[in-house]
A and B are shown apart, each in its own frame.
Chain A
Amino acid sequence: MPAIEIERQILPILDSPNQGARFYNPDLPASEPFVPGHRTCAGCGPSIQYRMTSKASGDNTILVGPTGCMYVANSSYLCTPYNVPWAHTQIGSAGSFTAGVAAAYEAMIRKGKWKGAFPNIICEAGDGSASDIGLASISGALYRNHDCLIICYDNEQYANTGIQASSRTPFGGMTTFSPPGPKVPEAKALYPKDLARMMAAGHPHCYVATASVGYPIDLMNKVRKGLNHKGAAFLMVYTPCQKGFVYETPRSIDLGRLVVECGLYPIWEWRPEKRAYDYSFRPQNMRPVSEYLKLQGRFGHLHAEHIAALQKFANQQWQMMGVQLPDALIQAADPKNQVNMAAAAEAEAVALTL
């Protein structure tokens, strides 16, 4: 039997003249593949991302959910928030299970066993899955170029298991596996793994991008670009976790903007056809990191030198994107120009009593 040609979906890119603007009113698709009825926290960054992503993808979609908070909080037996097929897989199987789904549809459509346009196949891996235990499986899927989109919803920690450090947890981030103490006042001593650049550098034929829930249209467009790209795509999305970051629930989207504005979460695209980064995304403002840090309890223990170290790190990120640094940010990288977080003295006092 002759092979049947596979029809691929092409999704339109949403009109958004100013990605950085605070308010916009585009025509969003009506489809809601991810509906209420799940058990995520109020203001949950990953679930906001889930809704935007699946809305951008539409109904001819299959979702794969490796173990993580978006598995445990979203799905509970006999109740499901998914209007499209969804499957759990093991935390280390993000890329591989997804590859299996994509391969099955390639074969089944080609052999006439399933009729219709190739589904949008999306894997929603947490940063623990994507940057640690499932890293090789995702690299394998990207390398082999299965037609799928792998998203790392990056809440910078293992949130499902009660806030533990992942290799995406930032320097200074307090988690239950990286607590501050007299010996380690900064809490997390290591800098985060640059997962998205690693994926772009190692799999240059793939569409790779970073995004944040603070910029919904940019996020949805990147989802669509990733899906339209014939082959594998990888998207890393900043998704704050109020439980782990310890902030006021309504501020999730604010944090999603501040993290970009302070340079700690560079937003870019890797364009596989040009084999080049696109750094044209610009937030409305540039701010010192302290404005982002001070909203979150996980950074409450930081001393002036730690804040300065994070500012230095942010400045390096701006420079990697070719952005000219204003003097204020250069000076902010000097510990003399920083003050301890309000909670630093108290945190130290508590730690000394333990």
Chain B
Amino acid sequence: MTTFTETKKKKVRINGCVASAQAAKYADVDVITAYPIRPYTATMMALAQMVANGELDAEYIVADSEHSQLSIAHGAASSGARVFTGSSGVGVQFAYELYSPISGSRMPVQMMIADRTLDPPGDFGSEHTDALSTRDMGWLMGWACDAQEAFDNHLMGYRIGEDPRVLLPQMVCQDGFFVSHITTDVELPDPGQVKEFLPPYKHPYPLDPRHPVSHGPQIMPEQGPPLQLERARAMESSMAVIEQVHDEFAKIFGRRYDPWVEEFMTDGADVVFFIQGGHAVTARFAIQHLREQGIKVGMVRLRTIRPYPTDRVNEVLSKFEVVGVIETNMGLGSVSSGGSLYAEVCAALYESPEPPLVVSFMAGMGGEAIVLKEFYWMAEKMLAAQKRGKIEKRTHWVGFEE
């Protein structure tokens, strides 16, 4: 194994947005395309400055809309360039048309999401609904819970998405403000480490005049299913690649992540929070405090939602008696009449011989912080369900009930 001179590795104090920009710089992206919307804008501001300073040689394109942003990204990736883009909230929705064409043409575009509530009401706050509403479009997707993890996920995202066995775009998500605008210590690697980890992008069939190819011709109905099957298989086969890349990342950078779920204080736990993203940081404090009082609570944090780690979620959550799904997203009229995570948790547990009780919590909506006392309240609800052997109801709106 290569040994690195650690002289160029450094710790810096930056927020999630800047960590994402740094990751794009380390990945030596060729084309960046921006359109302003809070809160992800700060990433593009940082990249604009890097390009202006000559620290990063990339085409920096200010698009005329998010739809154009994603189309520019699609065109650039189709030509063989490594592409970085991003958005938040309604911006993610404005580009919706492009998600399926990009994954369908197997272009590993990377999109940074600092999530944000949808309208109404013109709310700046974090909510996972924007990116989650695109979750079945063939993009790899997962949430980071802090700036360091966001940085790392970007590098791993390119490596996984550009793998010839995968060739899929990636949404690298972080909570708006809670991660995107909170300044923390982030370790930036030695460029040599990144070079070793992330080879240059090489799409097998780019738009190259020397090797003419036609991308995306019209198909007949009977030609649709085989193409859809291939895309589904790419998503499936990405699972082995994701595990392999996380291993290699740990070897080269020294930070090891479970690719699917983080378990926090789950040893001996009866009830667990099932959560995504930055609120997990608060959850860890709440759990430590509750454990001090002898309450057997833990946390399972979903790191990758596409592809969904069904077997892993089943295996891990089957160990507990009650699972409280913290939604932080809107699933209006969905299975639980709450958020959209609940249905997938229940589906994953369907084959469990001894499934836990599952309850859904609508918390962290509209960008509200989930404060410690709300975690304690949710833990109480789970403990009551455990005692009763039955949930009180499928969905609780936290802060609106006794």
Which positions in A face B, CB cutoff 8 Å?
Answer: 3, 59-62, 64, 71-72, 75-80, 82-90, 92-93, 95-101, 103-108, 110-111, 113-114, 116, 119, 136-137, 139-140, 143-144
Taking CB as reference atom, which chain B residue is nearest A95?
B68
User: Is B344 on the interface with A (CB-CB < 8 A)?
Assistant: no
Q: Determine if B33 is an interface residue (Cβ-Cβ < 8 Å).
A: yes
* Partner of B80 from A77, A80, A110, A113 at Cβ < 8 Å: A113
Docked Cα-Cα span, A257 to B95, in Å, equals 41
Minimum CB distance partner of B211 in chain A: A85
Q: B residues 43-98 with Cβ under 8 Å of A?
A: 57-59, 61-65, 67-69, 71-81, 83, 97-98
Q: List 14 A-B contacts (CB under 8 A).
A: A76-B217, A76-B220, A85-B211, A85-B212, A86-B215, A87-B105, A96-B63, A96-B72, A98-B75, A100-B79, A101-B79, A107-B57, A113-B200, A116-B209
Among B65, B81, B218, B223, contact of A75 (Cβ-Cβ < 8 Å):
B218
Residue of B nearest to A136 (CB): B64
Known: A97-B74, A101-B78. A84 touches B68 (CB 8 A): no
Whether A101 contacts B68 by the Cβ 8 Å rule is no
Asked if A101 contacts B218 (CB within 8 A), the reply is: no
User: Is B214 an interface residue when CB atoms closer than 8 A count as contact?
Assistant: yes
Q: How far apart sit A59 and B68, CA to CA, in the bound complex (Å)? A: 28
Known: A84-B209, A100-B79, A103-B81. A93 touches B71 (CB 8 A): yes
Which residues in A have their C-beta under 8 angstroms from that of B220?
Answer: 76-77
In the complex, the chain A residue whose C-beta lies closest to that of B210 is A116
Any A CB within 8 A of the CB of B331: no
Residue of A nearest to B78 (CB): A87
Of the listed residues B208, B218, B223, the one surrounded by the most CB atoms of chain A closer than 10 A to its CB is: B218
Q: Which residues of B contact A85 (CB under 8 A)?
A: 206-209, 211-215
Whether the Cβ atoms of B80 and A104 lie closer than 8 Å is: yes
Tell me the nearest residue of chain A to B29, going by C-beta: A107
What distance in Å separates the Cβ of B251 from its nearest Cβ neighbour in chain A? Answer: 28
Q: B214 touching A75 by the CB < 8 A rule?
A: yes
Q: Does B216 contact A (CB under 8 A)?
A: yes
Q: For residue A65, which residue of chain B has the nearest CB?
A: B216
Residues B71 and A100 in contact, CB atoms below 8 Å apart: yes
User: Which residues on B sit within 8 Å (CB–CB) of A105?
Assistant: 79
Within the assembled complex, what's the spacing in Å between the Cα atoms of A244 and B36? Answer: 41
Most-contacted residue by chain B among A96, A98, A139, A143 (CB, 10 A): A96
Query: Chain A residues near B206 (CB, 8 Å)?
Result: 85
Contact B76 A111 (CB under 8 A): no
Q: Give Cα distance in the complex from A104 to B98, angstroms.
A: 18
Measured CA separation A136–B35 after assembly (Å) = 14
CB closest residue in chain A, given B57: A111
A60 CB contacts on chain B under 8 angstroms:
209
CB-CB nearest in chain A for B61:
A103
Task: Tell me whether A64 and B75 are in contact (CB under 8 A).
Answer: yes
Interface mask (B364-393 → A, CB under 8 Å = 1, otherwise 0):
000000000000000000000000000000
The residue of chain A having its C-beta at the shortest distance from the C-beta of B97 within the complex is A90
Which residue of the partner chain B has the closest CB to A102?
B75
Closest to A106 in B: B59
A-B pairs with lowest CB-CB distance, top 10: A100-B75, A75-B217, A88-B216, A140-B64, A93-B71, A96-B71, A104-B79, A104-B81, A96-B68, A100-B76
> What residues of chain B lie closer than 8 Å to A114, measured between beta carbons?
80, 208
How far apart sit A99 and B219, CA to CA, in the bound complex (Å)?
26
Q: Does B189 contact A (CB under 8 A)?
A: no
Residues of A within 8 A of B97 (CB): 90, 92
Given A110-B57, A144-B61, are A80 and B71 neighbors across the interface (CB < 8 Å)?
Answer: no
In the bound complex, do residue B71 and residue A86 qualify as a contact, i.e. CB atoms below 8 Å apart? no
Contact of B146 with A by CB under 8 A: no
Q: With a CB–CB cut-off of 8 A, which chain A residues contact B209?
A: 59-62, 84-85, 116, 119
The main secondary structure of chain B at its interface with chain A is mixed
Q: How far is the CB of A141 from chain B (nearest CB, A)?
A: 9
Q: Output the least CB separation between B154 and chain A (Å).
A: 19
Bits for B5-42, please: 1 = Cβ < 8 Å to A, else 0: 00000000000000000000000001101000000000
Does B76 contact A101, Cβ atoms closer than 8 Å? yes
Contact A140 B63 (CB under 8 A): yes
Query: Which chain B residue has the least Cβ–Cβ distance from A75?
Result: B217
Given A77-B223, A104-B30, A99-B213 contact (CB < 8 Å): no
Given contacts A89-B74, A108-B81, contact A96 B214 (CB under 8 A): no
Q: Mark B216-231, 1 if CB is under 8 A from A, else 0.
A: 1111100100000000
CA A104 – CA B234 in complex, angstroms?
25
Tell me, rounded to whole Å, the shortest Cβ–Cβ distance linking B98 to chain A: 7
Residues of A within 8 A of B219 (CB): 76-77
Q: Is B192 among interface residues, defined by CB-CB distance under 8 A?
A: no
Task: A97-B71, A104-B30, A104-B78 are known; give 5 further A-B pairs, CB within 8 A.
Answer: A80-B214, A90-B97, A101-B79, A111-B30, A137-B65
**Is residue B259 within 8 Å, beta carbon to beta carbon, of the partner chain?**
no
**In the complex, which residues of chain B have a beta carbon less than 8 angstroms from the beta carbon of A111?**
30, 57
Q: How distant is the Cα of A156 from the Cα of B350 in the complex, in angstroms?
A: 56
> Is B101 among interface residues, defined by CB-CB distance under 8 A?
yes
Interface set, chain B 76-132, CB cutoff 8 A to A:
76-81, 83, 97-98, 101, 105
> A104 with B63: in contact, given A61-B209, A113-B200, A114-B208 (CB under 8 Å)?
no
Interface centre among A85, A86, A88, A114 (most CB of B within 10 A): A85
Q: Are B81 and A93 in contact (CB under 8 A)?
A: no
Bound CA–CA A307/B176 (angstroms): 60
The one of B59, B67, B105, B218 in contact with A93, judged by C-beta atoms closer than 8 angstroms, is B67
Contact of A88 among B68, B76, B217, B223 (CB under 8 A): B217
Q: Complex formed: what's the CA distance from A100 to B75 in Å?
A: 4
Scoring B206, B213, B217 by chain A CB atoms within 10 A of each residue's CB, the highest score goes to: B217
Contact A87 B212 (CB under 8 A): no
Best-buried of A82, A88, A98, A143 by chain B (most CB within 10 Å) = A88
